[in-house]
Chains A and B, each alone.
Chain A
């Protein structure tokens, strides 16, 4: 009984929801990237690897330059570079997109460990000072609102950026010509091609965008929430983002709701000192939720019709 009352009590604290939103954003960025990529018809399970790469290069740049903004830029570009490998392999060479994604995730894990050893020897990477981290930003005025002020307006800059990207992605995908074309390419590339739309260019753009988003998430993780790089520090978040994308039926806001649920699981775990349950049990929460989602308990959701199918011009 005490466990339930503990959790209930926890649910009414602003701290929990503040942590929930931050954790959700860490998942939302790669999930949005996944939505864009898969809407264009390229299956992307490589967000994990792109995030990890972004995290690593962000830390390296930050340690070298002590400029967190430049470091964030490097992280974003590193994610984009990883994504462009996926793009070339799956769009140009029409390889199996799942296999390419797995390869990138494994490659990113190996590459970062290798480079950590190469650059920093076998010691750890080193810790960044507070001034080298992505800052928290309290919105003047709004932060004073009781409860919601703390949850919504006392957050890291990346959280605000991610929320802007959430709206932007939704608007671009569903309100603009560009979005219409991206979705057309993901549903029926032949139809798009005969209508004079450049299938390859749009797919490249979408896949690379997913890398940029994931790279930003990597920066948030390593030089925002944390202050160093630890091998494998993404800890499966790219996969949870993948689940959120599917749970959200390939829509930005659907994915966001899913991320909030997963983020809540993580936040409860982070606050485990208040709850008298084994922290190991609590730490399983986000992954358990992922499994339930992927097992299809939330109902079947239909991916874009040409998701995962390479486009061969002139084919039927």
Chain B
């Protein structure tokens, strides 16, 4: 691995035109042997296009690709695999009902006799791989039964089995818990030690800074910066990515909490699989404060938000909103009572994707006098004016309010929801994963809006899988673990302590 060895990957002048978008505009991208190279940029910057070109899924209009000093033509994934390039996709290419072994072998299965799948040979091959890279896996386990972290590990082993020396990882930490992310990073460092080269696509700057050696930044189809990780910082990368200075820290004044807006007492509820998800949750939410809920996903946060929003039935306990018991109210009545809800699944529950922005902007409020005549006939002009105001106020990037929500980018879809929910001037705002999958620029905007709501006197309950987001926005942090709030902490609590609480350690008896 001397410095003079040829580059592992050298892509020169790559250009790819899609209808209406120049996805890659003369992109130069080079990766050295044995380094972890981060490729960062906002959604739609052209990272995925560039990597799909390298993996042979997309063919460039022009430009050349040099692997290990040799110019190559990659016509499909088979060619890429043959050149030692492997890709771990953002959405796993795994078959849940197959065993781990079958998943890893698929496409290059060991065979005995006429065409029989050779289980023992497969097991041996996997045992070899997992031993040499320290990636423990049970080849006979059913893939769907494994936690996401192990599934990803299987994806990595799958790529290694195909003889990859250059690994492309597309947003690998998006689905991982902080713990799993740590484990992944250990694995990546080991892989580099054993001579592999890694391309790491991400938009989480902290992680990029932690794991990479060098960074290539893309914006709108162009490379806008080559950085050495040691010599840069979050602000510099963010500025390059967005094209202007971005406020990474949330700028907010100290909270001035008022009266109790929502009182939750010993709330219990079941998950979709009818197992208890909330096991007695109690807290007070005050006007003018942001209460953040930290926790590893799947510890009851989603269910809590749904119960509070009225879309899931509580099995016990009470929710009181300004002296009114709203425990059993449905979502519609709760909205009338002043509760707004930004759901975590924006495409499934937040929007009707086939509806226009205008139509989406009044969902849940279509029967109010402002938007309908006697709850019967829609007031189209009022709706259009309202939608146009939201588009302007919330900086939703769209050619018109008649565009279907489906055709907006993820960030702009989220802005439509945020605009709709905040536009109703709620007393209580329930925000679940408000910035998931959203670009840095839009995150900054949404954060500012949330703080603005708080300053206007609303009570905000925030659930986020991003610990950074919870820490920077919240005035108090409640940590959830296994359906309970194990502790309520001040916002400047060290990350380590929160991490410990989130995984069930360090809880004080009688907390909350």
Chain A contacts to B: CB under 8 angstroms: 175-181, 183-184, 187-188, 190-197, 305, 314, 316
B366-387 contacts to A (CB < 8 Å):
none
Chain B CB within 10 Å — which of A176, A191, A305, A316 has the most?
Answer: A191
The answer to whether A175 and B117 touch across the interface, beta carbons within 8 angstroms, is yes
B108 neighbours in A (Cβ, 8 Å): 195-196
The CA-CA distance from A196 to B94 in the complex, in Å, is: 14
The CA-CA distance from A181 to B103 in the complex, in Å, is: 10
The answer to whether B96 and A305 touch across the interface, beta carbons within 8 angstroms, is yes
B147-181 contacts to A (CB < 8 Å):
none
The CA-CA distance from A247 to B182 in the complex, in Å, is: 46
B57 neighbours in A (Cβ, 8 Å): 314
The CA-CA distance from A197 to B105 in the complex, in Å, is: 12
Of all chain B residues, the one with the shortest Cβ separation from A178 is B115
The answer to whether B97 and A305 touch across the interface, beta carbons within 8 angstroms, is yes
A191 neighbours in B (Cβ, 8 Å): 92-95, 103, 106
The CA-CA distance from A175 to B119 in the complex, in Å, is: 10
The answer to whether A184 and B98 touch across the interface, beta carbons within 8 angstroms, is yes
The answer to whether A192 and B106 touch across the interface, beta carbons within 8 angstroms, is yes
A194 neighbours in B (Cβ, 8 Å): 77, 87, 89, 93
The answer to whether A188 and B58 touch across the interface, beta carbons within 8 angstroms, is no
B78 neighbours in A (Cβ, 8 Å): 196
A188 neighbours in B (Cβ, 8 Å): 93-95
Of all chain A residues, the one with the shortest Cβ separation from B113 is A176
Of all chain A residues, the one with the shortest Cβ separation from B107 is A195
The answer to whether A187 and B98 touch across the interface, beta carbons within 8 angstroms, is yes
Q: List 7 A-B contacts (CB under 8 A).
A: A175-B117, A177-B111, A187-B97, A191-B103, A192-B107, A196-B107, A196-B108
The answer to whether B81 and A175 touch across the interface, beta carbons within 8 angstroms, is no
Known contacts A181-B106, A194-B77, A195-B107; A314/B95 CB under 8 A? no
Q: Which of B87, B91, B106, B116 contacts A184 (CB 8 A)?
A: B106
Ordered nearest first, which 8 A-B pairs have the shortest CB separation?
A195-B107, A191-B93, A176-B115, A196-B107, A187-B95, A195-B106, A177-B109, A188-B95
- Given A183-B95, A192-B107, 15 further pairs, Cβ under 8 A: A176-B114, A180-B98, A180-B109, A188-B95, A191-B94, A191-B95, A191-B103, A192-B106, A194-B87, A194-B93, A196-B78, A196-B81, A196-B107, A196-B108, A197-B106
B98 neighbours in A (Cβ, 8 Å): 180, 183-184, 187
A193 neighbours in B (Cβ, 8 Å): 77
A187 neighbours in B (Cβ, 8 Å): 95-98
B303 interface residue per 8 A CB criterion? no
Chain B CB within 10 Å — which of A181, A183, A195, A316 has the most?
Answer: A195
Of all chain B residues, the one with the shortest Cβ separation from A193 is B77
B102 interface residue per 8 A CB criterion? yes
The CA-CA distance from A235 to B197 in the complex, in Å, is: 63
- Cβ of B160 to closest chain A Cβ, rounded Å: 14
Known contacts A187-B97, A192-B107, A305-B97; A176/B116 CB under 8 A? yes
